[in-house]
């Protein structure tokens, strides 16, 4: 890498992404890739901490890789790879386990939440999840880690582990900073606009998936909940319309003020239709490109192999340093 700051971003290949994920993260990559050395990792090992159907996991991994590429991730500028392809991730996890305490891991909010949600499968991986995540980050000496607010605690732990290791064995890891996306990413449910848009909502009309076709998008916006009154204007007592104004603005590249002006005097029904059109105009070409890429799994395999090779080179540099510092003998090549 060439002296630019390093960004590592990780996402689990576990099902659909919504336009909230797109606006909050994926959309900003284009610019990011020039300014930073970016590593985009699919955290496939993390998904195994809850039950996965193996065939679904394979399909989801291809889907998400293709979606990333379709959204403009450039595999020449950035490193795109699978966590499971670079064994240094699990190897560093072991070392970091020796400086992690069960107390701090069992106190993690996500561990507690998931233990309740998956009470029949509280496994060691679920508890060790943040240590694997710390390994993901520390291996690449990442400066910045873009995360959702729900991962903040895990990043704090990563920093703690880095500092703890550095104090015990001398300076080894860069202590990373979190980057938590801006408010522009706050997209609410189309059905209950006081709730965040979520891919796990039982009501499929509540969210727009990156895999929805134009008809589906139009239908969902038509059914979107609005508020009393008839003006297209943001207001605290108009969460439905406010959400739609934000969505339209983000997809049409306008400010909310411009959107309000543009739709002055227009009916809710018309505005909902225009919002659907603006969203579909962005999503449809991405979906088409993703589906085109998915037809050639061999090509995706090749890209992931190239990504793994680049990632592995960087990761092994750190791992070797770590092994040496803790006193493991270097393996001599014969
Ligand atoms: N735990 C993250 C999530 O579910 C995904 C992840 C795994 C990650 N490893 C990472 C994110 C490293 C950032 C850096 O959102």
Q: Is 199 a catalytic residue?
A: yes
Reference 79, options 180, 175, 6, 172; nearest CA is 6
pLDDT digits (tens, 9 = 90+) for 23-65: 888 888 878 899 999 999 999 999 999 999 999 999 999 999 9
The predicted pLDDT at position 182 comes to: 64
Who's near 249: CB < 8 A, 6+ residues apart? 255, 256, 258, 259
Which atom of ligand 1 approaches the CA of 130 most closely?
1
Percent of the chain with pLDDT over 70: 98
Q: Which range among 17-26, 66-75, 102-111, 220-229 shows the weakest confidence by mean pLDDT?
A: 17-26
Phi, psi of 148 (to 5 degrees): -80, 160
The predicted pLDDT at position 180 comes to: 84
Select which of 77, 174, 186, 196 is catalytic.
Answer: 196
Ligand 1-lining residues (CB < 6 angstroms):
8-12, 43, 46, 133, 136-137, 145, 147-148, 151
Atom 11 in ligand 1: which residue has the minimum CA distance? 10
Q: Which range among 171-175, 193-197, 298-302, 308-312 shows the weakest confidence by mean pLDDT?
A: 193-197
The predicted pLDDT at position 183 comes to: 47
For residue 144, the tally of other CB atoms under 10 A from its CB is: 18
The predicted pLDDT at position 167 comes to: 98
**pLDDT tier, 2 (very low <50, low <70, confident <90, very high otherwise):** low
Q: How far is the CA of 17 from the centre of ligand 1 (A)?
A: 15
b/e map of 219-248 (b: 16 or more CB within 10 Å)?
A: ebbeebbbbeeeebebeeebbbbbbbbbbb
* pLDDT of 150 higher than 70: yes
Q: How far is the CA of 151 from the centre of ligand 1 (A)?
A: 7
Best probe residue, ligand 1, of 40, 48, 136, 180 (max atoms within 8 Å of C-beta): 136
pLDDT digits (tens, 9 = 90+) for 311-334: 999 999 999 999 999 999 999 999
Atom 3 in ligand 1: which residue has the minimum CA distance? 11
User: Which residue has better confidence, 27 or 162?
Assistant: 162
Average pLDDT over residues 260-276: 97
Q: Which range among 1-5, 156-160, 236-240, 290-294 shows the weakest confidence by mean pLDDT?
A: 1-5
CA angle 181, 211, 28 (to 5 degrees): 25
Which residues sit opposite 7 in a β-bridge? 38, 144
Q: Which range among 128-137, 192-201, 221-230 shows the weakest confidence by mean pLDDT?
A: 192-201
The predicted pLDDT at position 220 comes to: 98
pLDDT digits (tens, 9 = 90+) for 178-220: 998 764 457 899 999 999 898 888 999 999 999 999 999 999 9
Q: Which range among 174-188, 226-240, 252-266, 270-284 shows the weakest confidence by mean pLDDT?
A: 174-188
Which atom of ligand 1 approaches the CA of 133 most closely?
9
Select which of 186, 199, 310, 317 is catalytic.
Answer: 199
Average pLDDT over residues 57-81: 96
DSSP 100-151: --HHHHHT-HHHHHHHHHTGGG--HHHHHHHHHHHHHHHTTT-SEEEE-GGG
User: Which residue has better confidence, 3 or 207?
Assistant: 207
Atom 14 in ligand 1: which residue has the minimum CA distance? 10
DSSP 157-188: HHHHHHHHHHHHH-S-S---EEEEPPGGG--B
* pLDDT of 293 higher than 60: yes
Burial class (CB in 10 A: 0-12, 13-18, 19+), 178: middle
């Amino acid at each position: 890498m060439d002296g630019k700051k390093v960004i590592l971003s990780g996402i689990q290949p576990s099902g659909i992404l919504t336009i909230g994920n797109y606006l909050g993260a994926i959309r900003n990559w284009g610019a990011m890739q020039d300014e930073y050395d970016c590593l985009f990792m699919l955290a496939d090992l993390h998904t195994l901490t809850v039950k996965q159907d193996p065939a679904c996991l394979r399909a989801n991994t291809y889907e998400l890789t293709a979606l990333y590429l379709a959204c403009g991730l450039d595999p020449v500028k950035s490193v795109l790879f699978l966590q499971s392809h670079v064994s240094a991730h699990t190897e560093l996890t072991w070392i970091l386990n020796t400086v992690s305490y069960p107390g701090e891991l069992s106190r993690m909010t996500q561990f507690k939440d998931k233990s309740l949600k998956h009470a029949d499968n509280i496994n060691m991986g679920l508890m060790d999840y943040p240590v694997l995540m710390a390994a993901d980050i520390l291996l690449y000496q990442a400066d910045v880690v873009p995360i959702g607010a729900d991962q903040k605690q895990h990043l704090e732990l990563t920093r703690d582990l880095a500092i703890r290791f550095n104090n015990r064995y001398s300076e080894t890891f860069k202590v990373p900073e979190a980057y938590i996306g801006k408010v522009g990413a706050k997209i609410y449910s189309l059905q209950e606009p006081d709730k965040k848009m979520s891919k796990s909502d039982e009501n499929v009309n509540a969210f727009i998936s990156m895999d929805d076709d134009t008809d589906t998008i139009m239908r969902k916006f038509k059914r979107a909940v609005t508020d009393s009154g008839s003006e297209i204007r943001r207001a605290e007592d108009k969460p439905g319309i406010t959400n739609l104004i934000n969505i339209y603005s983000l997809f049409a590249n306008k400010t909310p003020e411009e959107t309000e002006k543009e739709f002055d005097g227009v009916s809710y029904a018309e505005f909902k239709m225009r919002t659907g059109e603006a969203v579909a105009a962005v999503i449809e070409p991405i979906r088409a490109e993703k589906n085109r890429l998915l037809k050639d799994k061999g090509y995706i395999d090749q890209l992931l192999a190239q990504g793994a090779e680049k990632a592995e080179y960087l990761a092994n540099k750190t791992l070797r340093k770590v092994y040496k510092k803790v006193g493991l003998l270097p393996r001599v090549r014969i």
